Amino acid sequence: MKRTANAQWHGDLKSGHGAISTASGVLANAQYSFSTRFEEGKGTNPEELLAAAHAGCFSMALSAQLGLAGLTAESIETTCSIKLEKQPDGFAVTESHLDLKARVPGASQEQFDQAVQAAKTGCPVSKLYNTQITLNAKLEA
């Protein structure tokens, strides 16, 4: 399985602009620029897309892990925050933090915690990142 996306860029770093598209068409010429990445401009940026990918991947991985334990989630809500920091050798993604709220009927805290940890380490996007991954998880009644 292979997924593709395309990025175009025009101009210099600060005043230039670009567009990101995905083969599925979900993103079609989504605007990105210096201001959308480092300021509060309108459009997307690579870190926002990384956060969306990690939140989505983790949520699906958790659903799979719960299924292996004979459980089905009523809801899984994951928010991911990607931290981009200036390092001596340039910028780097230094953390991906997941905040999870899940409603899983019949799940014990121990079953939930085991599934969450397995999803955190087993999610393909988690495996891709070479950074610290932190997580706060809450099982709701």
Instruction: Give the domain CATH number at 106.
Output: 3.30.300.20
Q: Beta strand 132-140 with 90-103: parallel, antiparallel or unpaired? A: parallel
**100, 65: one domain:** yes
The three-state secondary structure class of 22 is strand
Token duo for residue 39: 């300021």
The three-state secondary structure class of 110 is helix
**14, 51: one domain:** no
**129, 68: one domain:** yes
pLDDT of amino acid 129: 85
Task: Tell me which residues of the chain have a pLDDT lower than 50.
Answer: none
Write out the E strands in the chain. Answer: 5-10, 17-22, 30-33, 75-87, 90-103, 132-140
pLDDT of amino acid 130: 80
Q: How many domains does the chain have?
A: 2
CA distance linking residue 43 with residue 23, whole number of Å: 19
- Domain of residue 58 covers 46-140
What pTM was estimated for this model as a whole? 0.90
**123, 95: one domain:** yes
For the segment 61-80, what is each residue's pLDDT rounded down to a tens digit? 999 999 999 999 999 999 99
